[in-house]
């Protein structure tokens, strides 16, 4: 092998080693679609299991189990936790179901409820999580290409301008190392060589940074790009539609059927660990009219709610631990209004969610009627079982 070729190989290996050192010093944190989800998001749509004790202090307490059919299939048949099955059963992954047992204040049986919820748009499932990592990888590819281009340029300059070659090597590694070196501080000749590399290898991101003489460190720029992708991921849209029903306490006959739809969309300040979610939902209820004999669904009501959920996250893990949602609700009775009952009502809602431990949440909900001064409160306890996400992550390389 010719000496020049040997030297080139050694130079490339040196730059690759420096890149690996950079990656070890700056590992990408492991995030999943589930870990980035807020408690409010998990109440709208689940990837795995949830066990909820709702309205613990009220007259109509409820124990509810919610899940995803695909999660149950994997529980019974773990070999389904592979990418081919995951993609095959997309319709099942977009479906949630729930069953609940209701009791009164004396803990006597007060009926069952059942429901299904389907995600028409779900931009944050595990398939999209792979897309998230691919986006990060695509952005980081510019750095890999630039690193290789600089290695080749360094080898080339050693034959023509060894002083510039050494300066290029030193300043490039200062840019990608844990230093305060920024592009605007580079030697003009080094800057010109980096611009040539970015132009010849078609790396527009680096080319723009060099042309604009930006005051930016490559290490910081890489970390910022990752955080930007993560923020975009957390803000993606979820739109669900569903139907639930409740039985009487003495027989399996529907006493309350609810048709619902809900939209959840995040938005947050750039590079902030905290954020907000717009939460809009609507319900249309068909309820038994107790003033008429027999059992029917002749009483109908509309309930529309819109609010903003504040999500407070841990800075290093990005896991939500505190949330508060402020919302307003409009209720209208179309048929079956009782005597002296308001056909229209406007109330204010507040929901405080506290994460006690890992996947144990306590939601506290308050409803206030500003016109009549009525105040109602609900307290619940919710467990989100997400152990299966580890199985998927291991099998699918997540």
Write the CA distances from 295 to 7, 112, 251, integer angstroms. Answer: 88, 16, 11
What lies within 8 Å, CB to CB, of 334 at 6+ separation is 300, 301, 302
Residue 325 binned pLDDT confidence (cut-offs 50, 70, 90): very high
Least confident window among 45-54, 163-172, 382-391: 382-391
Alpha carbons 12 and 3: distance in angstroms, whole number: 14
Q: Exposed, middle or buried by CB within 10 Å (0-12, 13-18, 19+), for 59? A: exposed
Q: What is the pLDDT of residues 200-244, one digit of tens each?
A: 888 887 788 888 877 777 767 766 766 776 777 778 889 999 999
The answer, yes or no, to whether residue 11 has pLDDT greater than 60, is no
Residue 33 pLDDT = 56
Please state the rounded mean pLDDT for residues 375-389: 64
Nearest alpha-carbon partner for 175 in 114, 138, 242, 222? 222
Write the CA distances from 267 to 231, 279, 281, integer angstroms. Answer: 8, 11, 17
Here the tokens at position 373 are: 């001064």
Residue 166 binned pLDDT confidence (cut-offs 50, 70, 90): confident
* Residue 275 · residue 234 · CB < 8 Å: yes
Helix (H) or strand (E) holding 356: strand 344-357
R_g over Cα of the chain: 28
The answer, yes or no, to whether residue 79 has pLDDT greater than 60, is yes
Sequence ranges of the domains in the chain:
3-30+132-229, 39-73+106-124+237-391
Q: What is the pLDDT of residues 97-155, one digit of tens each?
A: 998 888 777 777 777 888 999 999 887 665 555 555 666 666 667 777 887 888 888 88
Here the tokens at position 34 are: 């589930």
Residue 269 pLDDT = 72
Residue 1 pLDDT = 44
Domain 39-73+106-124+237-391 sits in CATH at: 2.40.160
Residue 291 pLDDT = 66
Beta-bridge mates of residue 303:
283, 331
Question: Both ends of the chain: CA-CA distance in Å?
Answer: 41
Beta-bridge mates of residue 267:
276
DSSP state letter for 391: H
Q: What is the pLDDT of residues 262-309, one digit of tens each?
A: 999 988 776 677 889 999 999 999 988 766 666 778 889 999 999 999
């Amino acid at each position: 092998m010719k000496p020049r070729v040997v030297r080139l190989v050694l130079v490339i290996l040196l730059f690759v080693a420096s890149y690996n050192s950079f990656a070890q010093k700056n590992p990408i944190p492991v995030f999943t679609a589930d870990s980035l989800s807020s408690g409010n998001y998990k109440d709208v749509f689940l990837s795995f299991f949830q066990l909820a004790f709702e309205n613990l202090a009220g007259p109509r307490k409820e124990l509810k189990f919610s899940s995803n059919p695909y999660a149950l299939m994997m529980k019974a048949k773990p070999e389904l936790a592979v990418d081919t099955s995951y993609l095959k059963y997309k319709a099942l992954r977009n479906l949630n179901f729930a069953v609940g047992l209701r009791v009164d204040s004396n803990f006597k049986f007060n009926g069952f409820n059942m429901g299904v919820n389907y995600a028409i748009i779900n931009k944050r499932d595990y398939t999209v999580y792979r897309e998230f990592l691919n986006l990060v990888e695509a952005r980081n590819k510019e750095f890999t290409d630039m690193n290789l281009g600089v290695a080749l340029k360094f080898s080339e300059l050693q034959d023509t301008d060894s002083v510039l070659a050494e300066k290029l090597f030193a300043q490039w590694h200062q840019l990608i190392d844990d230093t305060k070196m920024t592009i605007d501080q580079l030697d003009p000749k080094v800057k010109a060589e980096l611009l040539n590399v970015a132009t010849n290898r078609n790396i527009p991101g680096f080319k723009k940074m060099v042309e604009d003489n930006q005051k930016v460190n490559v290490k910081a720029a890489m970390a910022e790009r990752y955080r930007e992708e993560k923020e975009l991921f957390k803000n993606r849209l979820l739109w669900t539609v569903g139907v639930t029903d409740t039985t009487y306490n003495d027989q399996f006959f529907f006493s309350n059927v609810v048709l619902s739809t809900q939209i959840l969309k995040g938005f947050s300040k750039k590079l902030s660990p905290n954020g907000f979610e717009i939460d809009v939902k609507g319900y249309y209820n068909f309820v038994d009219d107790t003033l008429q004999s027999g059992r029917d669904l002749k009483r109908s009501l509309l309930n529309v709610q819109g609010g903003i959920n504040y999500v407070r996250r841990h800075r290093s893990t990005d896991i939500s631990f505190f949330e508060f949602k402020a919302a307003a609700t409009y209720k209208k009775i179309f048929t079956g209004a009782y005597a002296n009952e308001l056909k229209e009502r406007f109330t204010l809602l507040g929901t405080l969610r506290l994460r006690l431990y890992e996947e144990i949440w306590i939601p506290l909900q308050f409803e206030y009627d500003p016109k009549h001064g009525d105040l109602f409160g609900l307290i619940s306890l919710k467990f989100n079982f997400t152990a299966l996400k580890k199985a998927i992550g291991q099998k699918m390389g997540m």
